[in-house]
Amino acid sequence: MPEGHTIHRLAADYAERFQGQQVRATSPQGKFSDGAALVDHQVLETTEAHGKHLFLGFGMDRWIHIHLGLFGKLGFGTAPAPPPTDTVRLRLANTGFYADLRGPTTCALITDAEKHAIHDRLGPDPLRPEDDGGRAWQRISRSRTTIAALLLDQKIIAGVGNVYRAEVLFRHGIDPYRAGRDLTRTQWDAIWSDLVALMREGVRHNRIDTVRPEHTPEAMGRPPRVDDHGGEVYVYRRALQDCHICGTEIRTAGLAARNLFWCPGCQPTGGAA
DNA sequence: AGCTCATGGCGAG
DNA sequence: TCGCCCTGAGCTG
């Protein structure tokens, strides 16, 4: 269930259990046997996330690069580790814990130089404290592409996925089909700082919540949402339901092979500030 | 048992 | 823009 907040959380989860210690590394599935053999018995020195990319650093110019894609999952547990199932791409284990990686798009051993190349092709990440939304604005403000598509472009901004995209545009009353260059700098700055806050909360709670306090289920006397991603949201996967704020029916449409959700009432075409 | 769908991203055409 | 890769849950039979 991976948007950027998940990956940053996992970087911390790995560090908490394995950093500074030798690990045992295996690939029960077999697709990462060579890589696992090269880090087996090595010390996990550091972990890092940039957008949806996760890096496990073993020193000696060796990093494991993990990208979960749409289906990838990590499962942590305490020793003794049970026999791995046959889809486990990578198991790390020490005396106290194990971590099983399944279904990633990427799990590869890379060098420092290769890691740098990945950072270079990623935009600023709202969860990296030193990163700057102004860099993203330079691209957005010159683009005729829709803001909805730009927000999912990891070269422009790293870590935003389909849920945060839908929700942040809703929160700022912006029509998802508006061109990037038709946003104001003020609007973009507000979106960026909102993403910083929302995604930090996402890391803290390990789920995506975007509703403001006055629109929580408790505040509105409505039943809590039950959904895979687990959080309270305004528009994501709420097609045909009523907007919590204006009552308009939430709409959905395909955009660049992803499902887009928005409220036509709160996010009017050409309007809103 | 088989189908569909999902918070992602790549390369071919 | 489409097809493809990765996995598993939640349906439908």
Three state DSSP letters for A133-163 = HHHHHHHHCCCCCEHHHHHHCCCCCCCCCHH
User: Could you tell me the pTM of the whole model?
Assistant: 0.96
Q: Which nucleotides of B are covered by protein (CB under 7 A)?
A: 6-10
In the block, tokens 């993403």 appear at A195
Give the model's confidence band at A228: pLDDT under 50 very low, under 70 low, under 90 confident, else very high.
low
pLDDT exceeds cutoff 80 at A226: no
Same domain, A116 and A138: no
Q: Give the torsion sign (CA, A149, A153, A156, A162).
A: positive
Same domain, A106 and A141: no
Condensed to tens digits (0 to 9), the pLDDT of residues A100-139 reads: 999 999 999 999 999 999 999 999 999 999 999 999 999 9
List strand B contacts in A 101-160 (CB < 7 A).
105, 152, 154
- Can you name the residues that pair with A221 across neighbouring β-strands? none
Domain-ending residue, one of A121, A142, A163: A121
Residue A97: partners with Cβ closer than 8 Å, 6 or more residues away: A17, A18, A76, A77, A78, A79
Same domain, A173 and A113: no
Q: What confidence score (pLDDT) does residue A221 get? A: 92
- Nucleotide minimizing C1' to CA distance for residue A70: B8
Which region, left, alpha or beta, applies to residue A79 given φ > 0 means left and ψ of -120 to 50 means alpha? Answer: beta
Q: Which nucleotides of C are covered by protein (CB under 7 A)?
A: 1-8
The DSSP string of A192-256 is HHHHHHHHHHHHHHTS-----GGGSHHHHT-PPP--TT-S--SSTT-TTSBPTTT-PBPEEEEET
Question: A111 with A35: CB under 8 angstroms?
Answer: no
The DSSP string of A12-42 is HHHHHHHTTSB-EEE-TTSTTHHHHHHHTT-
Q: What confidence score (pLDDT) does residue A1 get? A: 63
pLDDT exceeds cutoff 50 at A55: yes
Same domain, A175 and A72: no
Condensed to tens digits (0 to 9), the pLDDT of residues A168-215 reads: 999 999 999 999 999 999 999 999 999 999 999 999 999 999 999 999
Full residue range of the structural domain in which residue A29 is found: 4-121
Catalytically active residues of A are 2-3, 52, 258
Give the model's confidence band at A271: pLDDT under 50 very low, under 70 low, under 90 confident, else very high.
low
Q: How many domains does chain A have?
A: 2
pLDDT exceeds cutoff 90 at A230: no
What's the rounded mean pLDDT across residues A78-97?
Answer: 97
CATH number at residue A231: 1.10.8.50
Q: What confidence score (pLDDT) does residue A272 get? A: 46
CATH number at residue A48: 3.20.190.10
Report the share of chain A in percent with pLDDT over 70.
97
Q: What confidence score (pLDDT) does residue A257 get? A: 86
Residue A61 lies in a domain: yes
What is the C-alpha separation between A161 and A154, in angstroms, rounded?
A: 9
